[in-house]
Amino acid sequence: MPNLPDVVLWSIPAFVLLAVIEMISVRVHPDEDAAGYEAKDAVTSVGMGLGSLVFDFLWKIPIVAIYTAIYELTPLRVPVLWWTIPLMLLGQDFFYYWSHRGHHVIRILWACHVVHHSSRRFNLTTALRQPWTTLTVWPFYVPLVALGVHPAALAFCSSANLVYQFWIHTERIDRMPRWFEFVFNTPSHHRVHHASQGGYLDRNIVWDRLFGSFVPEVERPVYGLTKNINTFNPIKVATHEYVAIAKDLKTATSWRERAGRVFRGPGWQPVPVPEQGVPAAEETAAA
């Protein structure tokens, strides 16, 4: 088994220090147009982050068992060497893109990821607002394990990816150098990703440049959800979309509608029953 560090745990002191520095900078040099900090919001985000550590540890038990079984069955092996680690990081990031994309466009997966987008602020504590139901993520990385990437190496790459994303949750950095903006995820790109405006929704997950769905930051982002939840209760933040799905399923009138409520986009609505002689409206599937 590769002996690789848990970069998330090692990075926690840096997370705390950088968040404190950002809070001080916001107080000393405020930007009236920025979302800034709100005490209750920041406390909720930190609480969600601490809770995610506990739940992620629990989810790791069945996930590691599945990955280990797949790894033992495949004849392929990717050695952990200085030149293979960058390739594994790139591969992990590519499959992370599809996981992230799936968690934006499939409602039952969005119910997990919506937690991270639920804050109306955008600062370094927002990066800590992590979901508690990440059991929905593991299937997207099965191809990497099947190709011979050791589960421990995959865990290292996933942790490194998560640590990188911490610093891009800020309004204190405007733009990075042009070449950096073109290749890497940056605060500017991620502000667009966290925005609730229609033209910004579900955009800028880096690989969007390759797939033609990238949008530059032009107008000031408005953070949060298209329908904000107005609560700082961590349990409600973690579960509100699952509750909404359950309510929709309870009132659904057909199995087709039930499937749509779960597997279509977060804003999907069933075709209304037309009146006599009036054609049915098209389905909507807003992301």
161-202 tens-digit pLDDT = 999 999 999 999 999 999 999 999 999 999 999 999 988 988
The two structure tokens encoding residue 39:
């005490």
Q: Which of 84-88, 146-150, 272-276 has the lowest mean pLDDT?
A: 272-276
Determine the pLDDT at residue 276: 58
- pTM (two decimals): 0.91
Predicted pLDDT at 4 = 84
CB 7 within 8 A of CB 163: yes
Give the confidence band of 285 by pLDDT, cuts at 50, 70, 90.
Answer: very low
Cα 273 to Cα 198: distance, rounded to the nearest angstrom: 27
In angstroms, the CA 227 to CA 173 distance is 27
pLDDT at 261: 97
For residue 141, give the DSSP letter: G
Q: Which residues pair with 269 in a beta bridge?
A: 284
With a cut of 70, say whether residue 275 has pLDDT above it. Answer: no
Mean pLDDT, range 26-37, rounded to an integer: 88
C-alpha distances out from residue 58 to 8, 64, 132, Å? 16, 11, 10
Residue 278: which pLDDT band, with cuts at 50, 70 and 90?
A: low
Structural element, H or E, at residue 16: helix 7-28
